[in-house]
Amino acid sequence: MADTADTAHVIVRPPLAWGLSVLAGFALHWLIPLPFLPADLPHGWLGALVFVLALALFAWAIVTMTRAGSNVPTNLPTTTIVETGPYRFTRNPIYLGMVLGLTGLGIAFNNLWLLVMLVPFALVIRYGVVAREEAYLERKFGDVYRGYRSRVRRWL
């Protein structure tokens, strides 16, 4: 069982929030289709490209964190501040990958609802996950985290 005393106590697991956003976007598109791209645009290929880039960022971030010896799931303790790989450029590459993945799906399926779902997803991640993680990391790692936070932007 996870040591929940040493976690950020996020309001929702990020993969669950992402999955719900995708399901909601497809369900709304099924009920009220909202295409937003011209029919002659190769949106499938363009969206697939964005999605693959998102998946690559997501995987790179997970591999980097795992190799550094820290836990990826939010319900497990963070063991170290990771400052290599994509964490040199953004403090939240996994969540950035999720945002890009949702964007890629929206483009690939010409589904405006998926892009609309970015708003609640981003708000939940920013305030229900990232804010709690930042407070947790500052409590746990103090000056080490504050130094990292001052050098690396939250998103880009």
Predicted local distance difference test score (pLDDT) of residue 154:
97
Taking residue 13's Cβ as centre, other Cβ atoms within 10 Å add up to 13
Examine residue 3 and state whether it is found in any structural domain, yes or no: no
Examine residue 127 and state whether it is found in any structural domain, yes or no: yes
Predicted local distance difference test score (pLDDT) of residue 3:
52
Predicted local distance difference test score (pLDDT) of residue 1:
46
Examine residue 26 and state whether it is found in any structural domain, yes or no: yes
Examine residue 69 and state whether it is found in any structural domain, yes or no: yes
Examine residue 2 and state whether it is found in any structural domain, yes or no: no
Taking residue 86's Cβ as centre, other Cβ atoms within 10 Å add up to 23
> In the chain, what percentage of residues exceed pLDDT 90?
96
Taking each helix axis from N to C terminus, what angle separates 14-31 and 93-108, rounded to the nearest 10 degrees?
10
Examine residue 34 and state whether it is found in any structural domain, yes or no: yes
- Between 4 and 135, the more confident residue is 135
Examine residue 100 and state whether it is found in any structural domain, yes or no: yes
DSSP 117: T
For the chain, how big is the Rg over CA atoms in Å? 17
Predicted local distance difference test score (pLDDT) of residue 5:
81
Q: What is the mean pLDDT of residues 28-37?
A: 97
Q: What is the CATH number of the domain that holds 41?
A: 1.20.120.1630
Phi–psi pair at 64, nearest 5 degrees: -60, -45
Examine residue 156 and state whether it is found in any structural domain, yes or no: no
Domains identified in the chain, total number: 1
Range of the domain at 145: 8-151
Token representation of residue 151: 């050098």
pLDDT surpassing 90 at residue 116: yes
The rounded distance, in Å, linking the Cα atoms of 23 and 120 is 13
For 46-57, how does the pLDDT look when each residue is reduced to its tens digit (9 = 90+)? 999 999 999 999
Q: What is the mean pLDDT of residues 118-145?
A: 98
